[in-house]
Amino acid sequence: MASAVTKEEFNAFHNIDRTTFNRLVFNLRREPFESMQVMALLLCLEQTGLAHNLVYQTLQWSDTFLNSLANEAVLCLQCGESEEFPLALEGVEVPLIQTMTKGKVSLRYFYDHRLLIIPGIEKNVNEVCLRAFEDIMEQLKQRKIEETGVEDRGEQVQGRVLEGEVGDDLSPLQISSTPGHEEKEKAEIPADDRTIFLTFSKGYPISETEVKDFFTRKFGDCIDEIHMQEVPEEEQPLYARLVVQPSSSLEKILGGRSKAKFSINGKHVWGRKYVPKTQKSPSKSPPSSSSQPAPPTAS
């Protein structure tokens, strides 16, 4: 029986990938988890035969060209996350990726084939990047502590991600604000103004733990509270309120749209900014409980 591959052997095998990732996060100071996704995408282009030795070729590139390639990869990832092709990207070219794939891949190509490509990217993140770049991520953590003197709460999330898997949808993990700023903002900005209303599909139950794990992995330490619909034990909650912090997390999670679609463990979830239900007659309607989400209002 063959012996398991050691950490040193695994890193040596992915030495070229590690070198390129190191340049992205140290030389170019790009966001680490976004850079992981960029690397996973480049590896996917190689694995599907769309590009030959793509990562190896970047070793000879200047940081400027590598940064441009990463920017193009991020646009591809945005297309992969979208239910509809983003209007803002109509006519936008990705010249480096098109050159490396001999004209086979464009943003439209990536969008049209996203259901085939995205699973490959997720697999690369989970099985290659999280393992091969673990020590580099630790170095980044130490650098941040040295530069700021503070260990970000977002780094604690990073540790949990490195021990598990990335969520179904890919997106950069956002570093949270400092605790003092968050507490001040919570006091100044009402919870309703920092709340996302989530609706679930009947027949596909989702637990509070699944919701918490998904949004923490995807967006970092952004959850203030989660209020699931209160139902009998044998019934499925159909909606929940997700209270986030800082308030800017709301726009990041929804991507600037009025409504966003997520996939949590293969189950579809819709999210929109929470609008409190107006109580027309207080005498007939009991006060809303802080632990009970209001049902969705008609749009």
Domain locations in the chain as residue ranges: 7-163, 182-273
For residues 64 and 27, give the distance between their C-alpha atoms in angstroms, rounded to a whole number.
Answer: 10
Give, in order, the Cα–Cα distances in Å from 245 to each of 54, 100, 142, 224, 253: 39, 41, 25, 6, 11
Asked if 249 and 200 count as a contact pair (C-beta separation under 8 A), the reply is: no
Higher pLDDT, 84 or 154: 84
Q: What is the pLDDT of residue 278?
A: 56
Average pLDDT over residues 240-262: 86
Helix (H, G, I), strand (E, B) or coil at 168: coil
The residue behind tokens 């890919």 is 170
The residue behind tokens 């590896």 is 43
Residue 126 carries which DSSP code?
A: I
For residues 288 and 279, give the distance between their C-alpha atoms in angstroms, rounded to a whole number.
Answer: 9
Quick one: pLDDT band at residue 187, thresholds 50, 70, 90?
low
pLDDT of 251 strictly over 90: no
Fold of 182-273: Alpha-Beta Plaits (3.30.70)
Asked if 115 and 83 count as a contact pair (C-beta separation under 8 A), the reply is: no
How many CA atoms, within 13 angstroms, populate the side-chain half-sphere of residue 69?
Answer: 29
Q: How many H-runs (helices) and E-runs (strands) does the chain carry? A: 14, 5
Question: Which amino acid, 288?
Answer: S
Give the ranges where 125-173 is alpha helix by DSSP (H). 130-132, 134-148, 153-163
For 106, counting Cβ atoms within 10 Å of its Cβ (0-12 exposed, 13-18 middle, 19+ buried), the class is: middle
Q: What is the pLDDT of residue 228?
A: 94
pLDDT of 182 strictly over 70: no
Asked if 297 and 291 count as a contact pair (C-beta separation under 8 A), the reply is: no
pTM comes to 0.54
Higher pLDDT, 116 or 156: 116
Question: Which amino acid, 186?
Answer: K
Average pLDDT over residues 197-213: 90
pLDDT of 264 strictly over 90: no
